[in-house]
Structure 1
Amino acid sequence: MTGRRDQDKGSVDPKLLELLACPLTKGPLAWDSQRNELVSRLAKLAYPIRDGIPIMLPSEARPIAEDAED
């Protein structure tokens, strides 16, 4: 039996993505499906998604390179 939690590990609900914003810049976030992260290009940070839950803490975010396209 596969639960909804298992189905959601590899995707982000588009409605949730519309509601979320970077806690530092209040700007938009883009979903990186390969790394399962929410990326704030303005803050140059990538917030992890663990067990389907976005971890929106700057202390948990991974810095991204300035020249990173996706």
Structure 2
Amino acid sequence: MVADGRDGRKATVDPKLLELLACPLTKGPLTWDAERGELISRVAKLAYPVRDGIPVMLPSEARAIPAEDLLAPPRP
């Protein structure tokens, strides 16, 4: 897990919340990238940030994921 950039704490997502969340564009599943503190939509090729433990599910706030990063298997 990484610091979320606000107060230096590690960003986390409740596993139950992760089961309920979906990509707002594709309505598909998201995976948690603990290393970067982001929720990943492999279909949309977007990484949604998590700030202060709150997922920011706005496509305008998401980071585009390069195609070569998507070729790697998803991290648990």
Bigger radius of gyration among the two: 1
Where does structure 1 lack aligned partners over 5 or more consecutive residues? 1-7
Identity of aligned residues (%): 71
- TM-score w.r.t. the length of structure 2 is 0.77
Partner of 1:41: 42
Asked if 1 retains the 8 angstrom alpha-carbon contact of 2:11 and 2:52, the reply is: no
How many equivalent residue pairs? 64
Where does structure 2 lack aligned partners over 5 or more consecutive residues? 1-8
Question: Which one has more relative contact order, counting CA pairs under 8 Å at least 6 apart?
Answer: 2
Partner of 1:16: 17
After superposition, the CA RMSD in angstroms is 1.7
Alpha-carbon distance in structure 1 between the residues aligned to 2:55 and 2:33:
12
